[in-house]
Amino acid sequence: MSAMPHPGQQPQRIPSAKVPRPPASAMVALCDTYDGYLAKATKARATLLRRYEPKALHAWRVNLRRLTATLDHVASALPGEQPGGLLDQLKQFRNATGGARDLDILMDETLPAFVNCGEHGDRIDQALLHALNAKRVQLHRDTVEGLKKTRLTMPTHTFHAWVDVHRGVTDDELRAAAGHLIDSRVRQLRKRAARMHDNRERLHRARTATKKLRYTLELFQPLFPRDATQAWLDRLAEVQTHLGEAHDRLTARALCKELLPEAKDHPQLKALRRWTKHTAADAAGKAEKSLDHLWKLGHHWRH
């Protein structure tokens, strides 16, 4: 006999079984990742409009670069319309803030490292620092003024319109497109790395190719074995770190020549030029060794 509830007692409710949600498609996950990049860039821009912060500028540039480094190739590999002039606009936004970033690195990272090596005095000549700081303040102001003209509202709408057309792309279709794109990025890095010792521009191109391959692998990581992809990402992070150091040192040489032309014969600047050249070559050599290890990894995206 079934138990009857006593008067005034509420009947027991049997909890309904939860229906598991189907896993999101890889294309939906990819579009969500892109949305995250746009959101982080928007947040960084808002921070910069309140107060200039080097970390916020870095976040602004990196998140836009993650979009521009991959979306054009992803879009061209899939059927349907391309995302219009979205990428050109985002590249213009990012490039407009590059000068301030380079000077931030010179002042906050390269010059302190030069002093800390302990061979050229315990501080930078105050007259040189004053001249560099004056230029830095002006670049920060220019950057903030430029950011006022870089609203991401329309680019975001354009991106979402493209997403609406492509949400039905299957995992197999996206995996095939990803494999071709990764192969293309690997070939590009091999080609550029072979000439990275030629000059600063060649090294910069190798560094850019490293970033693009890394961002591409990160974007498509859910489609491939995690451990195999992570091995590539770890090595690429090493290469990017070494190439970044080499690029920053060579950029410091160029900036000092450009911003302090009247002080070209200053003993400390001469020492800085020698030091940046030596340390850039050392960092490039480390990048080459990391690349040798990278090329020994399997191409797991082809299986």
Is the model more confident about 15 or about 233? 233
- For residue 97, what is the DSSP state? T
User: What local confidence, expressed as pLDDT, does residue 122 receive?
Assistant: 76
Mean predicted confidence (pLDDT) in 161-175: 87
Of 73-87, 138-152, 201-215, least confident by mean pLDDT is 73-87
User: What local confidence, expressed as pLDDT, does residue 72 receive?
Assistant: 84
User: What local confidence, expressed as pLDDT, does residue 21 receive?
Assistant: 47
As to burial, measured by CB atoms within 10 angstroms (0-12 exposed, 13-18 middle, 19+ buried), residue 19 is: exposed
User: In angstroms, how far apart are the furthest CA atoms of the chain?
Assistant: 103
Is the pLDDT at 165 greater than 70? The verdict is: yes
Distant-in-sequence, close-in-space partners of 214: CB < 8 Å, separation ≥ 6: 233, 236, 237, 240
Q: Which residue in 272, 271, 283 sits closest to 247, CA to CA?
A: 283
User: What local confidence, expressed as pLDDT, does residue 9 receive?
Assistant: 56
Is the pLDDT at 11 greater than 60? The verdict is: no
Mean predicted confidence (pLDDT) in 241-266: 94
Is the pLDDT at 280 greater than 80? The verdict is: yes
Residues 129/131/136/138 CA torsion (nearest 10 deg): 150
CA 176/CA 168 separation, integer angstroms: 15
**Token pair recorded at residue 266:** 């200053």
As to burial, measured by CB atoms within 10 angstroms (0-12 exposed, 13-18 middle, 19+ buried), residue 190 is: middle
**Token pair recorded at residue 101:** 């970033």
Distant-in-sequence, close-in-space partners of 266: CB < 8 Å, separation ≥ 6: 125, 128, 260
pLDDT digits (tens, 9 = 90+) for 141-156: 999 998 988 888 888 8
Is the model more confident about 119 or about 264? 264
Q: Which residue in 245, 246, 236, 240 sits closest to 281, CA to CA?
A: 246
pLDDT digits (tens, 9 = 90+) for 107-142: 999 999 999 987 776 789 999 999 999 999 999 999
Distant-in-sequence, close-in-space partners of 58: CB < 8 Å, separation ≥ 6: 101
pLDDT digits (tens, 9 = 90+) for 43-56: 999 999 999 999 99
Is the model more confident about 160 or about 119? 160
Mean predicted confidence (pLDDT) in 2-21: 51
Distant-in-sequence, close-in-space partners of 282: CB < 8 Å, separation ≥ 6: none
Mean per-residue pLDDT over the chain, rounded? 88
Is the model more confident about 85 or about 272? 272
Band the pLDDT of 166: cuts 50, 70, 90: confident
Work out the end-to-end distance of the chain between its first and last CA atoms, rounded to an integer number of angstroms: 61
Mean predicted confidence (pLDDT) in 199-224: 95
Distant-in-sequence, close-in-space partners of 239: CB < 8 Å, separation ≥ 6: 210, 287, 290, 291, 294
CA 123/CA 125 separation, integer angstroms: 6
Is the pLDDT at 23 greater than 80? The verdict is: no
Mean predicted confidence (pLDDT) in 218-244: 95
Band the pLDDT of 12: cuts 50, 70, 90: low
User: What local confidence, expressed as pLDDT, does residue 95 receive?
Assistant: 81
User: What local confidence, expressed as pLDDT, does residue 245 receive?
Assistant: 97
List the domain boundaries for the chain.
Answer: 98-148+170-302
**243, 287 Cβ separation under 8 angstroms:** yes
Beta strands in 38-183 (DSSP E): none
Task: Give the number of other Cβ atoms within 10 Å of residue 188's Cβ.
Answer: 17
Mean predicted confidence (pLDDT) in 246-254: 95
Task: Give the number of other Cβ atoms within 10 Å of residue 121's Cβ.
Answer: 12
Is the pLDDT at 19 greater than 50? The verdict is: no
CA 11/CA 78 separation, integer angstroms: 56
